């Protein structure tokens, strides 16, 4: 099958935000417009009710809080403890010396692992909700991050969503997760170091300075969505606040609803164009206890990764990924996906 990338040569591009190289190899791709998921996540959802559904609250781990529209028995979003947490909130927090954190190689698995149930209705996905309802899910993230920030032992909070079994979801009911860690993970430190290096060289934030060119997908009043210049994965998307902001939990209700609308639009675009693929999304933000010197170069963003390709030995051995779809092609395809209101 002929490729839209015929005549284009392989390229290596550097991701200035994460300080890593990506190989773009059009010879390994079909036409980018034919790059669809082989596993439609709708096909695996045969349940009608589960412990996350309205009326089954007693089957879940303890509730932390809920957003209720009218009565206490009703709810729109629930945040609960994870029944099978990766970290334990009951352990003694480790003592990590800030002057030399690398000197510690093993600490107790203290931390928090929570679940955000995005809707009481089993059949509704995040992309089915109204923009303001998606915004309420985002505000639930904000509230929980603020609560976790009160713990001196917590250094970083990761919000993420796994959609589809092959993307890591163990429940088909739409939900996301929050993990609070007593350390700053290495990938986060590497991202901040790379952003600091760019700032030291240019005096500008790398995300504020991003060149849209042909990478823009869509934009809203407060956010832009792009396929990054050195996208690690095919059809990877970043949603970036237009105004410089280091911490996701600084978002207000207006911006949360605005982000909710753009996030909904993008999830519908990848579902329609890529056959409702499994996906992950992550909120990349700043450490809880950052310093004032980090604020000028640290800029939070949302990353959406459709699961369309696997990771092989080269990627695992080098940390350098091979992407068969040029970002400009992916952005054009997603830009042109028509979504009926």
Strand partners, 80: 63, 115
Query: Under 8 Å CB-to-CB from 308, ≥6 apart: which residues?
Result: 35, 36, 37, 233, 234, 235, 274, 277
Residue 119 main-chain phi, psi, to 5 deg:
-160, 150
R_g over Cα of the chain: 20
Three-state DSSP at 297 gives coil
Relative to beta strand 321-323, strand 20-24 is: parallel
Q: Which of 189, 176, 154 is nearest to 302 (CA)?
A: 176
Three-state DSSP at 61 gives coil
CA distance 248 to 246: 7
DSSP code, position 176: E
Strand partners, 112: 180
Catalytic residue positions? Answer: 175
CB distance 153 to 111 below 8 Å: no
Q: Which of 109, 107, 98 is nearest to 180 (CA)?
A: 109
Strand partners, 240: 224
Between the alpha carbon of residue 214 and those of residues 227, 237, 329, the distances in Å are 9, 13, 9
Give Cα 275 distance to the centre of its chain: 20
């Amino acid at each position: 099958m002929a490729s839209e990338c015929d005549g284009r040569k392989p390229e290596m591009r550097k991701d200035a935000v994460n300080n890593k190289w990506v190989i773009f190899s059009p010879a390994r791709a079909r036409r980018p417009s034919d790059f669809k998921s082989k596993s439609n996540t709708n096909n695996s959802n045969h349940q009608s009710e589960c412990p996350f559904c309205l009326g089954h609250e007693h089957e879940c781990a303890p509730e932390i809080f809920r957003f209720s529209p009218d009565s206490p028995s009703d709810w729109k979003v629930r945040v609960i403890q994870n029944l099978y947490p990766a970290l334990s909130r009951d352990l003694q927090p480790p003592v990590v010396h800030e002057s030399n954190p690398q000197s510690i190689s093993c600490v107790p698995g203290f931390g928090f692992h929570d679940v955000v149930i995005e809707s009481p209705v089993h059949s509704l996905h995040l992309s089915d909700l109204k923009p303001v309802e998606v915004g309420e899910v985002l505000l639930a993230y904000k509230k929980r991050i603020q609560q976790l920030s009160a713990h001196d032992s917590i250094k970083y909070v990761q919000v993420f969503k796994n959609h589809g079994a092959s993307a890591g979801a163990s429940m088909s009911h739409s939900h996301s997760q929050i993990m609070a860690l007593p350390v700053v993970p290495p990938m986060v430190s590497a991202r901040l170091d790379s952003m600091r290096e760019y700032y030291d060289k240019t005096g500008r934030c790398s995300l504020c300075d991003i060149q849209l060119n042909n990478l823009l997908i869509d934009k809203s009043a407060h956010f832009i969505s792009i396929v990054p210049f050195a996208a690690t994965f095919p059809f990877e998307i970043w949603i970036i606040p237009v105004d410089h902001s280091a911490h996701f939990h600084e978002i207000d209700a207006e911006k949360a609803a605005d982000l909710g609308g753009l996030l909904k639009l993008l999830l519908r675009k990848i579902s329609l164009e890529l056959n409702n693929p499994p996906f992950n999304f992550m909120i990349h933000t700043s450490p809880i206890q950052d310093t004032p010197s980090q604020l000028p170069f640290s800029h939070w963003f949302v990353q959406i990764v459709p699961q369309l390709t696997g990771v092989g030995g080269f990627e695992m051995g080098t940390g350098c990924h091979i992407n068969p779809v040029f970002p400009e092609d992916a952005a054009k395809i997603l830009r042109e996906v028509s979504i009926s209101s």
